[in-house]
Structure 1
Amino acid sequence: MRCIASTLGEKRCVMAALGGGWFLALAFGVTLLKLLLMPTYHSTDFEVHRNWLAITHSLPVSQWYYEATSEWTLDYPPFFAWFEYALSHVAKYFDKEMLVIQNLNHASQPTVIFQRLSVVFTDVLFIYAVHECCRCINGKQGVKEPLESPQFVLSVLLLWNFGLLIVDHIHFQYNGFLFGFMLLSVARLFQKRHLEGAFLFAVLLHFKHINLYVAPAYGMYLLRSYCFTANNSDGSLQWRSFSFLRLAALGLIVCCVSALSLGPFIVWGQLPQLLSRLFPFKRGLCHAYWAPNFWALYNALDKALSVIGLKYQFLDPAKMPKAAMTGGLVQEFQHTILPSVTPLATLTCTAVSMLPSVFCLWFKPQGPRGFLRCLVLCALSSFMFGWHVHEKAILLAILPLSLLAVERSRDAGVYLVLSTTGHLSLFPLLFTVPELPIKILLMLLFTVYSFSSLKAVFRKEGPLLNWLETIYLIGLIPVEIVCEIVLPFTSWILKFPFLPLLLTSVYCALGVMYAWLKLYVSAFTGPPAARRKEE
């Protein structure tokens, strides 16, 4: 009876948090905030998407991936191109001039309003996906306040995610509805609706191909949990329980979605041109703003060694390649001391760093949560070692990790380290003065809520962070003060304009790498009892 009462109490907590109007209030509140952010600064990505609207609206499909009037050529998969095409038929009622390819950098007020509203409107899918994910989270015993329930905390961590707010609704992109596809596919796998989850992820791949990095997690989990129809009592698998029919169903889904997306370009013989746009390897190892990953540390070490070598005359200045890695530009460059890195080397490092998590998913399954942990590890591995990684890609790990953070204190600690460092590394994206108080306030509010809410959820399980993690996170404050306030008002900024970006990336890279390693330890030391129960 006590167990039943506890279960009913948890269900009432979930209903109060989701069905009692709280979820709608959260969704409405964040939508209102997005509307208030409409007049803020927008980056070159705004012109990128305006140009894609013009390309898809003005040209036949066969010319979409050849058009090069603007430097911001179409480099997303076909489904996203069709998405832009659909938007363009609404955009013409706001301002037809935005749909003229030759109107480069066109940013009239109607154009800005339309583009901003299009991001807000398509976020409806993200809101629905968050609701579905909250339904997959187990309630915690002893939680009496709906606002402290894991479901409510998760809804805030996702809907009000700081990184997603500034990247989509200030900087400008369409990540919200794309993450909606991912989170909805994750929710469907939790609900054992495997084919639907596979379909949603296949569609997502043809919207944004960066999600290929987490495809190994999907492939391994679906193979083990769906294609094998029965497990032995010890958790091992036997090939007689393998269902070729289920494997064929998964293969059919992938093939049909791919044929719908790529079919026309294959027929026209344009697949090589499309792939050259999707995978431009001549953009250099690092993005203009260094992502806080392994290569940021590698670049910084190379730079430090070259400075030391010149100071103590170990190196000949005449024979040194010109340092371009700290110019803040998208370009190829050669390292001075350390071996230069090739795309093949980054691919190898990424694959090797992913393999342990994928093997763990097969040999030490932990149900859907094991899959989710593998997904986050794959995303972090690609972020740490990938070629030309954008700093915004850290959201590919932070958002799914939110689901784990509200259910296990160990994951909550990793989440606090990763989200705090990852979000702060996005600060250089908003470099204009008017946005400085906005990003600081939003970051502060989200971070304070993350720490306080997760502490409330796991109040009986001790501190979420150890002393070393606490000191490191506190260190982010002086780093940010130096980069945002001190250096811009000194003569150093004229001589070393990239220095604030370098300091931010290198310091945050330490936290991201630490979170990656700690999450790996967590994956291999998961509780056996929980593993048996979830399987």
Structure 2
Amino acid sequence: MSGKFLSLFKSSPLNDFLIPFRKAQNQWVARYIIIVFALIVRCAVGIGPYSGEKSPPMFGDFEAQRHWMEITTHLPISRWYYYDLQYWGLDYPPLTAFHSWLLGKFGSIIDSSWFALDTSRGMETSDLKSYLRITSLVSELAFYIPAVQMFTRWMGRYYSKAATIDQTIIAAAILYQPALIIIDHGHFQYNSVMLGLTLLAVVHLLYDNYCLAAIFFVLSISFKQMALYYAPIFFFYLLSICIWSPSSRSFDLQRLIAIGCTVILTLGIQIAPFVLFGGLDQLRQILLRMFPFDRGLFEDKVANFWCATNVVIKYKQVFTTDQLKKLSLVLTLLGISPSCAAIFFRTRKELLAWCLASCSMAFYLFSFQVHEKSILLPWMPITLLLNEVDPDVISMVCWFSNIALFSMWPLLKRDELIIQYFVLGVLSNWLMGNLSWIRLALRVIKLPVSYRELATPVLPHSIIWRLVIVGSYVAAFSIHLAEAFTAPPQSLPHIWVIGNVVVSFGSFVLFWLWCNYKIYIISTTNSKLKTN
């Protein structure tokens, strides 16, 4: 990337809010403003309902997170992964358990009844809700938000040559994307920790700090096993820089050993307490809880290959669970192979976000046991592509972000996060300038509106992609209208959910194919970024 940086958010509200700080020698005020506003938006979402509110006996993810704080603060470590498995048994890796323990200890100092063993089950007091909402905010503030700032700063300095204020605008555009906000602070989870740790690992790859990158990525997997969606790209990138090291132009055994020892040591430190106090059986139990293959191919309706095509082929009736596991594995390996090959044979920093996006999207589309919220895995690296100085890329990212939010509509509707869904969707698009076409339409019909240059292109230049994107938006809007005003037929009670799945899946597949095409184009052009 060379030449003068061209801001693609010109005339957007984000640009209008932050451009007065362009002449400041230090942009800390602008960064402070976007972070404060990001926290305000998240707090506003947190005022609303959460997963499983007033829904006994199992409640939902809010209760699951609270329950894990309960069992980790009251039971010995040897029982954490064995206790009350029919309720909300702990089924995430050790770092989540330690995170729950820490938050539970702090919460117990404030009010011990919040996490009293057994007797606190299903508690929904306003004080407890506020505490847990604050812990989610603090977790994102500690991990994800700084990682976004660091990534955009590196991209601005060494890739796009963007001014500091433009880096801040891009970081704001990433932070105001609605998917993570509504899941972590509406539905309620701590996905920002996993995503933040992964992004910190990416940042350290950019700075050629390979051992630090390995530490942060292992920590990410140790927080939520879904970070394995990114693992092939990290593996092949690190393996590549060891096999044909750019600095020595030969196999770097010392680097390979250092990275391998770092991974083993980081995992060992986390697992050691369980083995020490519970024996080796703890390892087996942790793995069984982390990978519950007995749940089947999918549970809820999700916009991936299996659920979308299940309308035609009833997989659970045609294949056994073991056959579906193997079939899913084959399709997933085929799906991730283009991005893995590209990052291994063309080890380039500008490919990292693209390959992470393609690989994680392939996992989402084809792997076993995918949840609606798993779209956050490809969503994170895809939003990083907002750093690209290409209007077509920006338009495609915005399209994906909108469809990703739409794909989670059935889940968010169950959580009664309807207002938050629509407000966040409109807010994020307005801030980035994606609603500037309304002003253009008003001028076309001769309404007296002042002239203003359009901001970020809403649609790419390709006519085909314009038809695809507009068609998907029309289909999504039609499904919302039909669901709002028309009851589904008795013979097809889930018709609107299935429509959501089909539209979202079709969009995701097309985006994934486009992403692989872009990887090919970038990998076959000359790189100006060096890898040590």
Same fold (TM over 0.5): yes
Give the deviation of 1:16 after TM superposition: 5.5
**Partner residue, 2:449:** none
Is the CA contact 1:487–1:493 (under 8 Å) kept in the aligned structure 2?
A: no
- 1:243-392 equivalent positions in 2, closer than 5 A: 243-267=252-276, 268-269=279-280, 270-288=282-300, 290-302=301-313, 334-335=316-317, 342-365=324-347, 367-392=348-373
**Partner residue, 2:89:** 73
Aligned with residue 470 of structure 2, among 464, 467, 474: 474
CA distance, structure 2, for counterparts of residue 143 and residue 133 of structure 1: 13
- 1:356-505 equivalent positions in 2, closer than 5 A: 356-365=338-347, 367-409=348-390, 410-431=392-413, 435-450=417-432, 452=434, 464-492=460-488, 495-505=491-501
What amino acid is aligned across from residue 104 of structure 1 in structure 2? R
CA distance, structure 1, for counterparts of residue 26 and residue 468 of structure 2: 35
Give the deviation of 1:91 after TM superposition: 1.1
Determine whether 1:106 maps to 2:123: yes
Give the deviation of 1:210 after TM superposition: 1.0
Is the CA contact 1:77–1:206 (under 8 Å) kept in the aligned structure 2?
A: yes
Aligned with residue 173 of structure 2, among 149, 157, 164: 157
Q: Secondary structure at the match of 2:310?
A: helix
Deviations 1:204-230 (A, max 9, x none): 111111111211111111122256433
Deviations 1:389-408 (A, max 9, x none): 11212221122122233224
**Partner residue, 1:134:** 152
CA distance, structure 1, for counterparts of residue 74 and residue 218 of structure 2: 28
Is the CA contact 2:488–2:494 (under 8 Å) kept in the aligned structure 1?
A: no
Q: Secondary structure at the match of 2:233?
A: helix
CA distance, structure 1, for counterparts of residue 318 and residue 80 of structure 2: 40
Q: Secondary structure at the match of 2:460?
A: coil
Q: 1:493 to 1:530 in 2, by over 3 A?
A: farther
CA distance, structure 2, for counterparts of residue 451 and residue 169 of structure 1: 24
**Partner residue, 1:202:** 218
Is the CA contact 1:143–1:457 (under 8 Å) kept in the aligned structure 2?
A: no
CA distance, structure 2, for counterparts of residue 223 and residue 442 of structure 1: 40
Q: 1:442 to 1:215 in 2, by over 3 A?
A: same
Deviations 1:472-530 (A, max 9, x none): 33334444444444335434265533222111111110010001011111111226443
Q: More deviation in 48-57 or 29-38?
A: 29-38
Q: 1:459 to 1:379 in 2, by over 3 A?
A: same
What amino acid is aligned across from residue 243 of structure 1 in structure 2? D
Q: 1:463 to 1:49 in 2, by over 3 A?
A: closer
Q: More deviation in 385-394 or 484-493?
A: 484-493
**Partner residue, 2:113:** 97
Q: 1:160 to 1:525 in 2, by over 3 A?
A: same
**Partner residue, 1:517:** 513
Q: Secondary structure at the match of 1:67?
A: coil
Q: How many residues align?
A: 488
**Partner residue, 2:191:** 175
Larger relative contact order (Cα-Cα within 8 Å, sequence gap ≥ 6): 2
CA distance, structure 1, for counterparts of residue 495 and residue 132 of structure 2: 33
CA distance, structure 2, for counterparts of residue 491 and residue 361 of structure 1: 48
CA distance, structure 1, for counterparts of residue 511 and residue 345 of structure 2: 23
CA distance, structure 1, for counterparts of residue 522 and residue 422 of structure 2: 36
Deviations 1:230-266 (A, max 9, x none): 369xxxx6xxx21211111101110001111223434
What amino acid is aligned across from residue 300 of structure 1 in structure 2? V
Q: 1:184 to 1:343 in 2, by over 3 A?
A: same
Q: Percent identity?
A: 24
CA distance, structure 2, for counterparts of residue 415 and residue 462 of structure 1: 10
CA distance, structure 1, for counterparts of residue 151 and residue 468 of structure 2: 31
CA distance, structure 1, for counterparts of residue 341 and residue 415 of structure 2: 47
Deviations 1:297-317 (A, max 9, x none): 2112226xxxxxxxxxxxxxx
CA distance, structure 2, for counterparts of residue 467 and residue 449 of structure 1: 25
Gaps of 5+ in 1: 304-332
Q: Secondary structure at the match of 2:147?
A: helix
Deviations 1:361-402 (A, max 9, x none): 22233x212232221111011001011111212221122122
CA distance, structure 2, for counterparts of residue 138 and residue 457 of structure 1: 24
Is the CA contact 2:229–2:377 (under 8 Å) kept in the aligned structure 1?
A: no
Q: More deviation in 246-255 or 354-363?
A: 354-363
CA distance, structure 2, for counterparts of residue 285 and residue 412 of structure 1: 34
CA distance, structure 2, for counterparts of residue 196 and residue 373 of structure 1: 21
CA distance, structure 1, for counterparts of residue 456 and residue 69 of structure 2: 52
Deviations 1:22-77 (A, max 9, x none): 22101000101222222211001101101101110110000000001652110000
CA distance, structure 2, for counterparts of residue 107 and residue 467 of structure 1: 51
Is the CA contact 2:194–2:221 (under 8 Å) kept in the aligned structure 1?
A: no
Q: TM-score, normalised on structure 1?
A: 0.82
CA distance, structure 1, for counterparts of residue 245 and residue 477 of structure 2: 56
Give the deviation of 1:532 after TM superposition: 5.7
Deviations 1:131-157 (A, max 9, x none): 11111113698988x76x3x2342123
CA distance, structure 2, for counterparts of residue 137 and residue 16 of structure 1: 20
Give the deviation of 1:201 after TM superposition: 0.7
Q: 1:458 to 1:282 in 2, by over 3 A?
A: farther
Q: More deviation in 124-133 or 58-67?
A: 124-133
CA distance, structure 1, for counterparts of residue 114 and residue 412 of structure 2: 24
What amino acid is aligned across from residue 67 of structure 1 in structure 2? Y
CA distance, structure 2, for counterparts of residue 398 and residue 164 of structure 1: 9
Is the CA contact 1:164–1:176 (under 8 Å) kept in the aligned structure 2?
A: yes
Is the CA contact 1:76–1:208 (under 8 Å) kept in the aligned structure 2?
A: yes
Aligned with residue 166 of structure 1, among 179, 182, 206: 182
Is the CA contact 1:406–1:457 (under 8 Å) kept in the aligned structure 2?
A: no
Q: 1:110 to 1:94 in 2, by over 3 A?
A: farther
